[in-house]
Amino acid sequence: MKTSKAGVLLVNLGSPDAPTRKAIKRYLRQFLSDKRIIDIPAWIWWPILNSIVLPFRSIYLSKMYSSIWRKEGSPLMIYSKNQRDALAAMLNLPVEIGMNYGNPSIKSSIDKLMLQGINRLIVLPLYPQFSSATVASVWDSLYKVFKNYKSLPNICFIRDYADHPAYINALKICINRSFKKHGKPDLLLISYHGIPKRLVNEGDDYFQRCLDTTNALVKELKLKENQFTLAFQSRFGYEPWLTPYIDKIIQTLPAKGIKYIHVISPGFSCDCLETLEELDSRNRNDFIKAGGQRFEYIPALNAENTHIDMMCQLIDKFL
């Protein structure tokens, strides 16, 4: 009987290779060509993408990425590599990180694992709350990779972990640490990446999974209804997205007497453009301009020990 050998693939969204217009255009072209992201017919979308979106948005995003870029690369890639290394050491198994867009690709990471002789592949998309635009897109990518393989490993796919006790506990620890260090705020703002409302109406349970995380978290924190609020960020395009929008909420809080807030975004497993530039920079500035006095951003779980332990718990049941 063939000995079972497992390998783990962590998957995240991805990042440009550099904060340059050329690298960002290459990354955006792949990202915005995914039918799970933009489901407009190609004959309509491609001319818009290439003649309008890529040229202008790459200029805008280049400035944003440059503001958070580090000597070692993008924060998302730095933290992803730290997660990979910590998890591999804890599990004593081959672990690779694959990006759905950009490098290292899911294909290159699967190829590395297969060359090590694995016959069971455990796939953990690092999106705590399922969405067709994220987790289902990872599933699509797996199919594209393996359709050219003559032999397949057993595949264990972790759909999401929105209300897993270890995930909620890891968030709770980070929030309480922030409260202890900076003092308890007037309000905890819990922000998630938005998606078009249309997707939810078509059956995507992302909104419900965000509610599941929020409800479990505030229960553990023992917060009252007036001590937290939920919001959505990072909308793109012109169709309605999930509300309330964080940039709108931020500007109204000081007038309501809420002058000190802490902000956390539980949907991001790594700090990245949307957390560091959007939340911790732009939204912070908007809050202060509107009359707010103190704004504390609570970092993503990144490579925290509690986060790595949670990943181990998710993976252990497949070993």
Of 270, 296, 132, nearest to 202 (Cα)? 132
Where do the CATH 3.40.50.1400 domains begin and end in the chain?
Answer: 6-161+306-316, 165-297
Give the CATH number of domain 6-161+306-316; options: 3.40.30.10, 3.40.50.1400, 1.20.58.340, 3.20.20.70.
3.40.50.1400
Q: What are 216-235's pLDDT values in tens digits?
A: 999 999 999 999 999 999 99
Can you give the pLDDT at residue 224? 97
The reported pLDDT for the residue numbered 237 is 83
pTM, to two decimals: 0.96
Q: The CATH number of 165-297 is which of 3.30.365.10, 3.40.1010.10, 3.40.50.1400, 1.10.10.410?
A: 3.40.50.1400
Feature table: binding site = 193, 274
Mode of pairing for the β-strands spanning 294-297 and 260-264: parallel
Return the percentage of the chain with pLDDT > 90, whole number: 97
pLDDT in the model for residue 236: 87
Predicted confidence at residue 2, as pLDDT, reads 60
Extract the annotated binding site for Fe(2+): 193, 274
Residue segments in the chain with a per-residue pLDDT below the cut of 70 = 1-2
Query: What's the confidence (pLDDT) of residue 1?
Result: 47
Question: What's the first-to-final CA gap in the chain, in angstroms?
Answer: 17
pLDDT at 122: 98
